[in-house]
Amino acid sequence: MSANFSCYGEKVIETPHVDRLAKEGLLFTHAYATSPVCSTFRSSLITGMYQNSIGAHHHRSGRSKKNRIELPDGIRAIPELFKEAGYFTCIGSGLHNFDFRSLPSKIGRKGKTDYNFDWDTKIYDSHDWSERKGNQPFFMQVQLHGGKIRGAAEKHYEILEKRMENQFELKPTSQNLIKLPPYYPNDSVLLRDWATYLDTVRITDWHVGKVIERLKKEGIHDYTMIIFFTDHGISHARGKQFLYDEGTHIPLVIKGPGVPKGKKRHDLVEHIDIAALSLAMAGIKIPKKMEGQDILAKQHRPKKFVFAARDRCGEAADQIRSVRTEKFLYIKNFFPQRPHLMPSNYKDTKLIIRRLRDLYAKGKTNTLANQLLFSSTRPQEELYLYNQDKWQTKNLAENKKYKTKLLELRENLSQWMVKTGDLGPETLEVYILETEDQMSSTENKVWKENYRKNSEIYRNWFKQGR
């Protein structure tokens, strides 16, 4: 989910528990994901490295026996470092009686990892810190389902709306209160989806409150560092998987010993900084090769640039890179001859994407939607004054007034790619291997056939140099 919390300016819903964290801690207004899809985000989060630096930048890659991905020398998953320092490591829902979807459950299970490299499952001791010995310090990842709770179909919306009333005794968010980004049609299906998405934010906030309540009951709240953030932005046509604010801007709130109270920071930070910060707070030495930074260190200097990348997601092969400064967002599309809404089995199974395509086919989408979502090509370069242009709709790349800035950011991005050893796209051979491995992972014939047809399109594009 995106930063749709009251403390970040969301007006339609209230999020008292995350708001309280912000009031008692430190809120970052400009925190960004280095990747807007889960497996690449998590691979970089757990190592403190850009996903491109470690070859883990293609979504759900390295799972095939024929294409294993090993971490480079000197790079380790941070739970290993916590274990070596005597910490009990765990990953789960953070509650004894609720699962990662905030549904009642008596079964404890480990949370989502989804790393795109070989790793030892023993880096996590358990799903919960209650199994530690005595007062042993613990490192815990509370993994919640977030925006995914809303599902992708109308029946899922109905289930969640009933759940809001029955489990939480709350009225579902009214779609009449929703104001969509200007490139999404003001359509009842899209409005309902966004309203239901905001209900998942409320559920997440409730769960955060329950975890904090547990920490207080156990008498360890005042000694615990709490870091709240999300995986990436909202799953939508221009959100998840893409490098606009809708896909990469995330909330980041920190509360705990030594953290300033009731403060906001407006400097640029990246989600990989959370790894370095976590180690530093525990007094564990940050590895020399780690690209994330301890953003609470006294010697920390605000970043002038932050970066992000999108690569293959499922069968949808792509390469997009971005660099962001305090004022500008520069995006480079390496495959400008491919449309924004490319064939994607994951995206196209969602009701909202099917609805968008249907409205476009009937001529019921506006000029902006047609340009940004349905054009058969994309600009090779995009430049936005993103603080002034909330939804990044005014591309300034061809505006002569900003030519110097465009050249500067283009060069800066190029230098970053060289510095990180960005491996870029897969070869056609690896693409075929990875996508066939994903097709073999399901028995759903419809899903598999759609995926196969899409992958054939991408294979042809590869061969055409498109």
Q: In the chain, where are the structural domains located?
A: 6-464
- Of 17, 118, 30, which Cα lies nearest the Cα of 76? 118
In the beta sheet, which residues pair with residue 138?
88
SS3 call for 139? strand
Interstrand relation of 263-265 and 249-255 (parallel, antiparallel or unpaired):
unpaired
The whole-model pTM stands at 0.97
For the beta sheet containing 320-324, the strands, ordered from the edge strand earlier in sequence to the opposite edge, are 306-310, 320-324, 328-333, 381-385
Residue 268: which of 300, 299, 230, 226 has the closest Cα?
Answer: 300
Q: Reduce the DSSP state of residue 148 to 3 states and report it.
A: helix
Alpha carbons 34 and 293: distance in angstroms, whole number? 13
Residues in the chain: 466
Phi, psi of 442 (to 5 degrees): -135, 155
- The pLDDT value recorded for residue 441 is 87
pLDDT value for 379: 98
Angle CA 391–394–398, to nearest 5: 145
Q: Quick one: tokens of 464?
A: 């055409």
Reading the chain (466 residues) residue by residue, the pLDDT tens digits are: 999 999 999 999 999 999 999 999 999 999 999 999 999 999 999 999 999 999 999 999 998 888 899 999 999 999 999 999 999 999 999 999 999 999 999 999 999 999 999 999 999 999 999 999 999 999 999 999 999 999 999 999 999 999 999 999 999 999 999 999 999 999 999 999 999 999 999 999 999 999 999 999 999 999 999 999 999 999 999 999 999 999 999 999 999 999 999 999 999 999 999 999 999 999 999 999 999 999 999 999 999 999 999 999 999 999 999 999 999 999 999 999 999 999 999 999 999 999 999 999 999 999 999 999 999 999 999 999 999 999 999 999 999 999 999 999 999 999 999 999 999 999 999 999 999 999 998 889 999 999 999 999 999 999 999 9
The type of residue at 135 is N
DSSP string, 178-230: ----TTS---HHHHHHHHHHHHHHHHHHHHHHHHHHHHHHTT-GGG--EEEE-
Q: Which helix (H) or strand (E) holds 332?
A: strand 328-333
Q: What's the CA gap between 175 and 441, in Å, rounded?
A: 37
Which tens digits make up the pLDDT trace of 220-273? 999 999 999 999 999 999 999 999 999 999 999 999 999 999 999 999 999 999
Query: Residue 429, Cβ neighbours under 10 Å: how many?
Result: 9
Q: Judge contact between 397 and 406, C-beta under 8 A.
A: yes
Q: At what angle do helices 188-217 and 154-166 cross, to 10 degrees?
A: 40
Single-letter residue type at 245: D
Residue 431 CA to residue 423 CA, distance in Å, equals 14
Structure tokens at 7: 């403390």
| 100, 145 contact by CB (below 8 A) | yes
Contacts of 47 (CB under 8 A, 6+ apart): 54, 71, 75, 76, 77, 78, 272, 275, 290
Q: How many helices (H) and strands (E) does the chain have?
A: 13, 11
DSSP-derived 3-state class of residue 45: helix
Residue pointed to by tokens 């009642």? 104
Structure tokens given for 452: 């196969």
Six-digit token pair at 2? 């995106």
| Burial status of residue 349 (CB atoms within 10 A of its CB: 0-12, 13-18, 19 or more) | middle
Residue 454: the pLDDT is 97
H helices present in 218-337, as ranges: 245-248, 273-281
16, exposed or middle or buried, with CB in 10 Å at 0-12, 13-18, 19+? middle
The pLDDT value given to residue 66: 87
Q: Tell me: domain 6-464, CATH 3.40.720.10, correct?
A: yes
Spacing of C-alpha 54 from chain mean position: 18
Assigned token pair, 260: 């300033």
